[in-house]
Chain A
Amino acid sequence: MLTCKQFLQELDEYLEKSLDPAEYAELQKHVSECPNCFVVCDTTEKTLRVFKGMDCKPVPDDIRSRLMDAVEKKMREKCGPKEPPSATTA
């Protein structure tokens, strides 16, 4: 008989369904019979869902601009000054 503590120690694997079928079934049985573990499992799953559903914050324009300046400066250092395009053509 699985205890709540043992269930908690396997919670991540249970949520990720990365257990073999027999272990998974044992944990599932515990969740179905233990109201507290059911709530902990359900709310942990929802916790992960709300975090995964969040949008990435865009990099603010001023930071993006400073970043691009720094990268361009580094590229110039590495590749040498870029020759200006020739005004005359053959």
Chain B
Amino acid sequence: MAKQITQNDDDAEDVLQETFLKAYTHLDDFQGNSKFYTWVVRIAVNEALMKLRKRRSDRTVPLDDPIDTGEDEVVREIAVWDQNPEDTYSREELGTILDEAVQSLKPAYRTVFILRDIEELSIEETAETLNLSISAVKSRLLRARLQLREKLTRLFKNKGDDAFAYL
């Protein structure tokens, strides 16, 4: 997760180390209101976002800037996929494909997707971790999922079917 958010090996290692140290030194602060795993993930995400902000502060949009609210979801690729697209590639190839797809998302979408769909935090936990409203999380999640679907369609679409095959 640290690598996916920071997209940098050294930063990811720093995040990992800081997360463990903070979890250890602040263990008394863990009040048991959430799962321990979720608590540690929150520490890791905050560390990773700090790294990302530090690196990007002088050249790109901050992570918490307002972004589109999902009014203009674009679906360009309407093509049927194989029943089990994951079987088309080896585990290693698939891992690379999915990593690249996630890394191509904007940080604001990527982080929400990682927390909700990979780390499986709830919408509420994701919102709390990122200090976003629930509607902002839902909106970013929808855009992230649709963009990933779009990217993967180019690889996973059933070669035998044309677009609009159902029409």
Closest Cβ–Cβ distance, residue B24 to chain A (whole Å): 6
User: Within 8 Å of chain B (Cβ to Cβ): is A25?
Assistant: no
- B residues lining the A interface (CB < 8 Å): 3, 13, 16-17, 20-21, 24-25, 70, 73, 75, 78-81, 85-86, 91, 94-95, 98, 117-118, 120, 138, 141-142, 145-146, 148-149, 152-153, 156, 164, 166-167
**Judging by beta carbons under 8 Å apart, are B24 and A36 in contact?**
no
Return chain A residues, CB-CB under 8 Å to B17.
66-67, 70
Q: Which of A7-37 contact B (CB under 8 A)?
A: 8-9, 11-12, 35-36
Query: Per-position contact with B for A42-84: 1 when CB-CB < 8 Å, else 0?
Result: 1110111111111101010001001100110011001000000
Return chain B residues, CB-CB under 8 Å to A67.
13, 16-17, 20
Closest Cβ–Cβ distance, residue B160 to chain A (whole Å): 15
**Judging by beta carbons under 8 Å apart, are A70 and B21 in contact?**
yes
Q: How far is the CA of A74 from the CA of B118 in the complex (A)?
A: 30
Q: How far is the CA of A65 from the CA of B101 in the complex (A)?
A: 30
Closest Cβ–Cβ distance, residue A26 to chain B (whole Å): 18
**Judging by beta carbons under 8 Å apart, are A43 and B149 in contact?**
yes
The main secondary structure of chain A at its interface with chain B is helix
Q: How far is the CA of A75 from the CA of B75 in the complex (A)?
A: 52
Leading 4 A-B pairs by shortest Cβ distance = A35-B166, A47-B149, A50-B86, A44-B149
**Judging by beta carbons under 8 Å apart, are A40 and B16 in contact?**
no
Return chain B residues, CB-CB under 8 Å to A44.
145-146, 149
Q: How far is the CA of A70 from the CA of B146 in the complex (A)?
A: 40
- Looking across the interface, which residue of chain B has its beta carbon closest to that of A63? B13
Closest Cβ–Cβ distance, residue B131 to chain A (whole Å): 21
**Judging by beta carbons under 8 Å apart, are B91 and A71 in contact?**
no
**Judging by beta carbons under 8 Å apart, are B25 and A46 in contact?**
no
Return chain A residues, CB-CB under 8 Å to B166.
35-36, 38-39
